[in-house]
Chains A and B, each alone.
Chain A
């Protein structure tokens, strides 16, 4: 873990919220979590959870196919 990872947001200061999130935002608690999800929704769309679920499902399917091929 680097110092960048541990740099927390400072209360009252504006900061850029990355769409991919950061540990510092989670460490900030409820407000950091909600702000991150809001940003994510802005960037990825309100249905970002559905997209994520589909993406993960596709990855699992792809891996399963690769394993079958190897066997």
Chain B
């Protein structure tokens, strides 16, 4: 399969700064989102994005196009995030998850009240993802947000395919378990109120 960014990358390799700007514009959302999901902090994610693109700028002349540019960029981003996370260890706070979610606007719907309730339920699930163990959060991000296949995730994380699927399934079950406990708690609160 041909790389849609191949032509742009070729221009960047010639030192075309304007082409590099276009490349950053096309890919920065993916890079930022991955960094944010791994590190859970917007400031750290911004620093990582800058570091990643500096590395890419320096290493582009040596990029031979054997893999797709997006895969190469993804690998650099992941390595940078995991290294940074190791440095920061427990200092990272997941401060911004709720902030970012509050910025989401609910689309128009016939029954806005029901929609708002449903949206809030989903938002609480998305917040719950940020509390899952890192390995589950990472595979969820790569599968659902970066739209990578199981095979691609296995290659990026150097894990067996079965392990990737197992992580995803355990993450899904963990989230379903949270949902079950929340509903049980709600029905208990209703019983108490009555």
Chain B associates with chain A: no
List A residues at the B interface (Cβ < 8 Å).
none
Q: Which residues of B contact A (CB under 8 A)?
A: none
